[in-house]
Each structure stands twice: as structure tokens, then as C-alpha cells.
Amino acid sequence: MKNTLLALFTFLTCISALHAQEKDSLQIKIDSIENSFVYKTGSIELESGNAKLDVPAGFRFLDKEQSNYVLTNLWGNPEDANILGMLVPENRGVLQENSWAFTISYDNMGFVKDEDAKDINYDDLLKEQQKDVKESNPDRIKEGYESIQLINWASAPYYDENKKILHWAKELQFGEDSLHTLNYNLRILGRKGIFLLNAVATMDELPAVKQHLDKVINSVSFHDGHKYADFNPDGDEVAAWTVGGLVAGKVLAKAGFFAILLKFWKLIALGIAGGGAAIWKRFKGRKKEENPFVNQHTEA
């Protein structure tokens, strides 16, 4: 009996030691990756060539090349040529469990008319989107993927007519997952297109995101000649989408679902060392579901 207990104790001790070594090894790798990034602050000319970014206090900026490395190599997304950079809170790294960030991209879709902004009933729009998501779930489940529920507005859509800035947030649930996803969207309208700023976060991080929202909203500014007020009706292209279309998600599927994939990859990366094999198995199915949305256009 003593020998059996001793053997069991030895076995459990070895398992515990191996588990600790795995965690230490992963943390070393994470620290190495985090320390390799070169962050910027201050005023930055965005590669779109039509605007500048004044990095808000409390944030750091990763340029296009480094952001694509994070999004593609670390978080498993297909490469996106539209990504211009990321705003990362200065007290969190990109691979920390409680991290969150804003991705920055630009779409030269044309001039987005905003005459419908005051007439949109966002409660009705939410119900329509919930219905669309629900109706698409049987096909999703049939293909072996998890269902998606649009729970509610995490933050009701709001259009600032003076600043020409639109923002809204959705609360989403995958399957029976208790960890709900936050899909926070900012759209800054210009003469020939829009900037898209998407928060990569979970619902638990909504207070932190909202706390810094005003600073992030004001961080991107179009140059003279590229502002919304500079629109020339005689020669400039008008977008096929209005403000209502942007909120309805009728433009680019990646604008609505891009952020969802990112956050799950961060959670998985940290979960593997903690015995997260079950999470990884479940996520692989989810990843199949999300990838088709990332680079596809969705017609109205």
C-alpha cells in the first residue's frame, strides 16, 4: 500500500513539474515576442496617405508590418492588406490574457452619405440582424460549426453628425460559450472612404474599451482635401452604402467579424500550457467558421 501511494505521489509530482515547465517555457516565449516589438507614440503619418494618427495617452502604436505579424502569425488571421496598424494599451501586451486592442484600417469605398442617420430605428435593425443570424444557424450547425447569437447592442449605434464618426458595439455568443464576444466598431467618414477601427476584446473588457473611446475616436484625423466636407459632388465617387448600411454590416463581413477571431486566438495561445486541449479542440471548429468571413465581401 505504501509503495502504491509513493508511486502515485511520485507520478503526480512529475506531472506537476512538467506542467510548471510548460508554463515557464510558454511565458519565456511570450516575453521574448513581446520584447521584440517596436512601439511608437506621438504623431504618425498613416500609410493610407490621407490622414495622421495622434497616438492617444495610454496607448502605443504598432506599424503595419508588425501588426500584420501579430494578426497573422500570432493570432492566426489571413493577412489583410488594408491593416495600417494597431493601438495597444501601454500596460498590456498583445499576448496577455486580459489584453485588448484597436485595429486600424482604411477602405476607399467612396463618399458615404449620411442623410439616413437620423431616420434609422436601431431597435428594428437589431431585431432584423438577430433574425438573420438565427436563420443562418441551421446551415452553420449542419456544417459542423457552432451557432452564433447576436445578444444585444453592447453599445447602441451613435452617429456624431459634426465629427462624421459612427460607432456601435454588438454582444455575440458562440454556441454555449459563457465568454461573450465584444464587437466594437468605429467608422470615421472621409471624402473618399472610411477608417475602420475595431476593438479586439471580450464583454468583460467593455468598460476598459469605453473608458478610452473618446481618445481613440479623436486620434485619427483626415488631412485637408480628404475630409468629409471636401467632397466634390461633380467628380467624387459616392459609396453604395449609407450610414445605416455600415451599421447593418452590409459592407465588408471582415469589418464585423474580424475582431472576433483575434481575441479567441489570444485566449487559446495562453490556454495550451494550462491544459487547454479541450478549448483548442473546440476552437478549431470555430476557426473554420470564422475564416470564410474574414476576406469575403457581403452584398446588401
Distance of CA 70 to the CA centre of its chain: 12
Mean pLDDT of 148-166: 92
Residue 117 clears pLDDT 60, i.e. is over it: yes
Q: Percent helix, strand, coil in the chain (nearest 5)?
A: 45, 25, 30
Contact yes or no for 146/173 (Cβ under 8 A): no
**Pairing mode of beta strands 59-62, 51-54:** unpaired
3-class DSSP state for residue 272? helix
Q: Is the pLDDT of residue 259 over 60?
A: no
- Which among 297, 267, 292 has a CA at the least distance from the CA of 282? 267
pLDDT mean across residues, the chain:
77
Q: In DSSP terms, which residues pair with 88 in a beta bridge?
A: 60
Beta strands in the chain (DSSP E): 43-45, 51-54, 59-62, 83-89, 101-107, 148-160, 165-174, 181-189, 194-202, 220-222
CA dihedral 249, 284, 282, 20 (to 10 degrees): -120
- Each residue of 223-245: b (16+ CB within 10 Å) or e? eeebbbeebeeeeeeebebbbbb
**pLDDT for residue 264 is more than 50:** no
Cell numbers placing 165:
464618426
pLDDT at 196: 93
pLDDT at 25: 72
Q: Report whether pLDDT(14) > 50.
A: yes
| Cβ proximity of 82 and 105 under 8 Å | yes
- Range in 151-165, 215-229, 242-256 with the lowest mean pLDDT: 242-256
User: How many residues does the structure list for the chain?
Assistant: 300
Q: If DSSP codes are grouped into helix, strand and coil, which group holds residue 191?
A: coil
| pLDDT band, very low/low/confident/very high, at 159 (cuts 50, 70, 90) | very high
Which of 25 and 90 is assigned the larger pLDDT? 90
Instruction: Calculate mean pLDDT across residues 167-175.
Output: 87
What's the maximum distance between 2 C-alpha atoms anywhere in the chain?
91
Residue 20 pLDDT > 90: no
Return the pLDDT at 76.
63
Check: CB of residue 247 under 8 Å from CB of residue 159. no
Secondary structure of 217-281 in HEC code, one letter for each residue:
HCCEEECCCCCHHHCCCCCCCECCCCHHHHHHCCCEHHHHHHHHHHHHHHHHHHHHHHCCHHHHH
3 state DSSP class of 273: helix
CA 32 vs CA 29, 57, 199, 274: distances in Å: 5, 25, 25, 19
